[in-house]
Amino acid sequence: MPADLNDYFKKKMDENEPSRPFQDLGKKATIIYVIIAIAVLIIIAKPYTIIQSGEVGIKVTAGKFDPIPLGPGIHFFIPGIQKIIKVDTKVRIINYKSERDTAFGNINEGIIEKPAISVLDARGLPVSIDLTVQYRLNPANAPQTIATWGLSWEEKLINAVVREVVRNVIGRYKAEELPVKRNEIATLIEQEIRKKIDSFKNKPVFLESVQLREINLPPKIKEQIERVQIAKQEAERMKYEVEKAKQEAEKRAAQARGEAEAKKIRAQGEAERIMIEAKAKAQANLEIGRSVTPELLNLKQIEVQGKFNEALKTNKDAKIFLTPGGAVPNIWIDAKDKQRATAITR
């Protein structure tokens, strides 16, 4: 290449050298603009969502539900083609309550309040039932559940089943039987609701509990039940009084029998004592009779005579009457004192 041509290109490069910083700056600005545009697009389109604990995400691509649920965390999707539906898997509650029932207060997250369930009893009388149902969505089968039942799955799965079962169960009983058989009815309602929900394909819902809170009866039926209860209470009271009187009578009869038996025992004891004493005395008299002999009588006579002889020594004027029979005492009278008579016994 000729020298003058080289000099020409060198000169041209030297002339363009001052514009190179502007070229670099333009390239950096373009990159920044692209980054800002992407950020703005992300902010506007928001091609991501965050799944919280107690939730699952269902990705829908061009109307097709992904069968695998998305767990807690951040998940991206393509705007316009995909979307992610978040559904609650925590325990949820439906309260069926009358207007005057305010036990559960205002509606909170996860709590749905509905009017009490109006049903007819076995005779066609209107009855309303207050009920609380606790349940939760099966997270593993949430995509299939939403695809089949839609986002209003609670109305179709829970509310419809509960109302149907309550009507069927209450319709088997008369209104006045409902308060008496409350526990039986509550058990039947829970069992049949659980059976019905468990029979759905893919087991969409877990039933936690069913609580029968109140049975609201027609005023006339309530009055009739109250009258019957009062009559039963009165009958029970009378039965108690009769039983109490019967027990008191039995107690008094038992006491009387006890006293009579005690008297009988005492009389028998006394009679036995008298008999024993009589036998003892008879035996003693018999022994005494056996011991009295003619020799003993003569001895006693001698002893008595000796006592009279001693007496005559000091009272010579005394009069003595001897009585026959030996053992019969002699009688003597002191002549000095006719007012005093003394009998000397054996």
- Strand pairing class (55-61; 205-216): unpaired
66 and 107 belong to one structural domain: no
pLDDT of residue 182: 94
Q: Are residues 196 and 134 in the same domain?
A: yes
The domain that holds 97 is classified in CATH as 3.30.479.30
| Residue 10 domain-assigned (yes or no) | no
Which of residues 19 and 56 earns the better pLDDT score? Answer: 56
In this structure, are 210 and 96 located in the same domain? yes
Residue 3 resides in a domain: no
Instruction: Give the residue with greater pLDDT, 89 vs 44.
Output: 89
**pLDDT: is 324 or 263 the higher one?**
263
The domain boundary residue, chosen from 85, 107, 138 = 85
Contact 252, 206 (CB under 8 A): no
Q: Look at residue 324 and tell me if it is in a domain.
A: yes
Q: Where in the sequence is the domain holding 261, given as residue range(s)?
A: 220-291
Q: Return d(Cα 162, Cα 308) in angstroms, integer.
A: 131
269 phi, psi to nearest 5 deg = -65, -45
| The two structure tokens encoding residue 229 | 């209860």
Token look-up 């369930």 returns 117
Residue 5 lies in a domain: no
Residues 237 and 120 grouped into a single domain: no
Does the pLDDT value for residue 322 go beyond 80?
no
Q: What is the pLDDT of residue 235?
A: 81
Got the DSSP string for 242-286? HHHHHHHHHHHHHHHHHHHHHHHHHHHHHHHHHHHHHHHHHHHHH
Q: Please answer whether residues 303 and 322 qualify as being in contact, where contact means their C-beta atoms are separated by less than 8 angstroms.
A: no
- Separation of alpha carbons 144 and 132, rounded Å: 26
Taking Cα atoms as reference points, which of 138, 131, 89, 86 lies closest to residue 110? 89
What's the average model confidence in pLDDT over 158-169? 95
- 333, part of any domain: yes
Task: Verify that 275 and 227 share a domain, yes or no.
Answer: yes
Rounded Cα–Cα distance for residues 160 and 154 (Å): 8
How many domains does one find in the chain?
4
Distance CA 36, CA 19 (A): 26
275: pLDDT strictly greater than 50? yes
Same domain, yes or no, for 52 and 144?
Answer: no
> Averaged over 282-306, what is the pLDDT?
72
Q: Are residues 76 and 99 in the same domain?
A: no
- In the predicted model, is pLDDT for residue 210 greater than 80? yes
pLDDT at 346: 44
| Phi and psi at residue 311, to the nearest 5° | -70, -35
Query: Has residue 154 been placed in a domain?
Result: yes
Who has greater pLDDT, 51 or 315? 51
Identify whether residues 249 and 265 lie together within a single domain.
yes
Comparing 197 with 239, the larger pLDDT belongs to: 197
At 203 the pLDDT is: 92
Residues 81 and 174 placed together within one structural domain of the fold: no
Domain assignment present for 144 = yes
The whole-number average pLDDT for the span 74-101 is 87
* Per-residue model confidence as pLDDT tens digits over 295-305: 766 777 777 77
Closest CA to 54 of 146, 144, 136, 143: 136
Percent residues over pLDDT 70 in the chain: 75
- In this prediction, residue 143 carries a pLDDT of 94
Mean pLDDT computed over 197-213: 94
Within a 13 Å sphere around the CA of 151, how many CA atoms are in the beta-carbon half? 6
Same domain, 110 and 208: yes
Statement: residue 342 has pLDDT above 50: no
Tens-place pLDDT, residues 46-66: 788 899 999 999 999 988 999
- pLDDT in the model for residue 51: 92
Say if residue 222's pLDDT is above 80. no
Predicted local confidence at residue 1, as pLDDT: 47
Identify the domain boundary among 184, 217, 250. 217
**Of 251, 269, 291, which one is at a domain's C-terminal end?**
291
Query: What number is the average pLDDT over the span 17-24?
Result: 53
Q: Which residue type does 159 have? A: N
**How high does pLDDT run on average in the chain?**
79
Give me the pLDDT at residue 205, please: 95
Only one residue has tokens 């325990």, namely 91
Asked whether residue 339 is assigned to any structural domain, the reply reads yes
Is the same domain home to 329 and 307? Answer: yes
Please indicate whether residue 124 or residue 104 has the higher confidence score (pLDDT): 124
Assess whether 253 and 193 both reside in one domain: no
Q: How many CB atoms lie within 10 A of CB 4?
A: 7
What does the alpha-carbon distance between residue 227 and residue 204 come to, in Å, rounded to a whole number? 47
